[in-house]
Structure 1
Amino acid sequence: AILQFPNFRHLLVIDDDEIADPQWLERMCLAAETLGADIVGGPQVPVFADPAHARWADHPVFAPPYRETGRVPALYSSGNLLVGRNVLIAMGPPFLDLRFNFMGGGDSDFLSRSVQKGFVLGWCAEAKVLETVPARRIEADWIRARSLRNGVISTLVEKKKRAGTPMAGAKVLLKSLALLAASPFRGLIRLARTRSPAIAIYPVHVALGRVLAEFGYANEQYRQPEKN
């Protein structure tokens, strides 16, 4: 497509269960220009099948990582994303690591590698997409599995990032253990701020997932799409 369309400047991506805001395309492209960003992410606003579940919108599994427009150090999802032509040319195919296929996280890995190559990331808080959230994703088992999976992905992406550097594996493991040790205290801070035990336990699950990844644990949620 890059070769066939010489005027092609940006690739914009949303998931197949999302609906873009009418101004989404314009806002994403404008953000790329005004921020001088090569890649721009935007919020995926959860729309719960049961309105009573709206209280879950602030849980880290569903909430956007940033609230304000600007340059950011990291992006994690391709669910609402603009990627510049220059990024695609520099990264080259295959763009996604197939090892993440059934777990997810190939997008996180791609974004991490893009940062390593020096590309600038941005966030456009105004370029929203609405994401349908079925009732099964509010179940405690699903949220716990997704939180653990986020930790596993974090370890795998960081290992790739540090590959070839001295003591890479040991540094990743030590960081994971430090995060696990700190996670109860981080959870208590979240509990005091949100009064939500489900939000408070999130850093514990993520840190545990990071450590479990060292022992080969992989939560491949996409192998059972009917449960995802």
Structure 2
Amino acid sequence: MPEAVSIERVSPGLAGDAIDLVVTLPTFRRPEHLLRTLQSLQAQTTSQRFAVIVIENDAEGGAGRLAADPLFAEGAIAGLVITAHARGNCSAYNAGWSTALERFPSMRYLAVIDDDEIAGPDWLERLVETAEALPADIVGGPQVPVFETAAGRGLLRHPVFVPHYAVTGRVPILYSSGNVLIRREVLETMGAPFLDTAFNFIGGGDSDFYSRCRERGFSFGWCAEAPVHETTPPRRMEFSWLNARGLRNGALSSIIERRRQTGRRGSLRRLAKSAALLAASPFRSAALAARTGSAVAGLYPMQVAVGRLLAEFGIVNEQYRRPDQN
């Protein structure tokens, strides 16, 4: 195991070669919700023999590790609790995915769910069925926001909260790792570290990973019937958070393109695209505001365009650096 990973608990009698699918579950200072997520995994109705890896990413506090430990110690859930000592979501994913490959030699699929999400009882079965029926190497599903107050319902049509696709089938690419199924062959081909830790605190490591997977020829699918429900705190209903997320999404698109389009020609191409998007953004924003009935949602194309341009000058908001503000 890498030095940055500690195995904290292994469920009794765990046979790594008897597991078809591994669910990785990164956690950071959400012990109460982590237990709700684990309960939804316990309730899965599936033919897949699966195990769960909880990845604690707060090595000092360890609240998630302490909350999950009794369930694994008693064998109520098969799998492991590990600590990823390097902070950041990419580091946590890398630790869990590497552990899954090493500990479970018969694993065919790896799934990801976050510690603020709840899966329905057929979540895993639907994802696997879709992956095999399409077929697709990587399959995503909707992350449906569940707002803690009624005021948030007006944001359901904001682009930040709307799933990227609506219908099950093959898709060109995915953007989020909060609800995804990945074939083992993808991880073995891409190799560790899977997610670039440069994205640890700005997000987007998953989008960059998918972009590289597409370059290697892997295919993508969408399963509309496998949603997870994501608890959305009041902070994410505030304009400052929505504005920061729009700017960040624009910055990420520029950063990822920069990695694929190098040299002077690539820079000129990106700047031209950013300028065109900025010029068109007022019209796109007006159209989106009219379509959604929300001026706040309508600002999103402008925020993305400004974020792209700022990123060209090295200005990127690390939205995950301070968890209390996310």
Which bracket does the TM-score occupy, shorter chain normalised?
over 0.9
In 2, the alpha carbon distance for the partners of 1:69 and 1:79 equals 17
Instruction: Determine if the alignment matches structure 1 residue 218 to structure 2 residue 316.
Output: yes
Instruction: Determine if the alignment matches structure 1 residue 182 to structure 2 residue 280.
Output: yes
The correspondence of residues 71-220 of structure 1 with structure 2, limited to 5 A, is 71-163=170-262, 167-220=265-318
Give the C-alpha shift of residue 6 in structure 1.
3.0
Give the AA of the match of 1:61.
Answer: V
Give the C-alpha shift of residue 199 in structure 1.
1.4
Task: Quote the residue 2:101 is aligned against.
Answer: 2
Give the C-alpha shift of residue 162 in structure 1.
2.4
In 2, the alpha carbon distance for the partners of 1:152 and 1:188 equals 22
- Distance 1:163-1:9 versus aligned 2 partners, 3 A rule: farther
In 2, the alpha carbon distance for the partners of 1:172 and 1:117 equals 23
1:68-88 deviation line (CA, Å, top 9, x unaligned): 111111211101011111110
Give the AA of the match of 2:203.
Answer: G
1:155-207 deviation line (CA, Å, top 9, x unaligned): 1111112247x711211111111111111111121122222111111011001
**Partner residue of 1:52 out of 148, 151, 176:** 151
In 2, the alpha carbon distance for the partners of 1:61 and 1:219 equals 16
Give the C-alpha shift of residue 119 in structure 1.
0.6
**RMSD between superposed Cα atoms in Å:** 1.2
In 2, the alpha carbon distance for the partners of 1:180 and 1:21 equals 40
Give the AA of the match of 1:221.
Answer: Q
Contact 1:75 1:121 in 2 (8 A): yes
Report the more deviating stretch, 206-215 or 185-194: 185-194
Task: Quote the residue 2:168 is aligned against.
Answer: 69
SS of equivalent residue, structure 1 residue 82: strand
Report the more deviating stretch, 81-90 or 185-194: 185-194
1:106-149 deviation line (CA, Å, top 9, x unaligned): 01100111111111011101100010100011000010001100
Aligned residue-pair number = 227
In 2, the alpha carbon distance for the partners of 1:75 and 1:172 equals 21
SS of equivalent residue, structure 1 residue 221: coil
Contact 2:288 2:297 in 1 (8 A): yes
TM-score of the superposed pair, with normalisation by structure 1: 0.96
Higher RCO (CA 8 Å, separation ≥ 6 residues): 1
In 2, the alpha carbon distance for the partners of 1:8 and 1:67 equals 29
Task: Quote the residue 2:40 is aligned against.
Answer: none
TM-score of the superposed pair, with normalisation by structure 2: 0.68
Give the C-alpha shift of residue 12 in structure 1.
0.2
Give the AA of the match of 1:218.
Answer: V
Larger radius of gyration: 2
Runs (4 or more) in structure 1 with deviation over 6 Å come to none
Q: Greater helix percent: which structure?
A: 1
Contact 2:289 2:297 in 1 (8 A): yes
In 2, the alpha carbon distance for the partners of 1:15 and 1:55 equals 24
Contact 1:113 1:161 in 2 (8 A): no
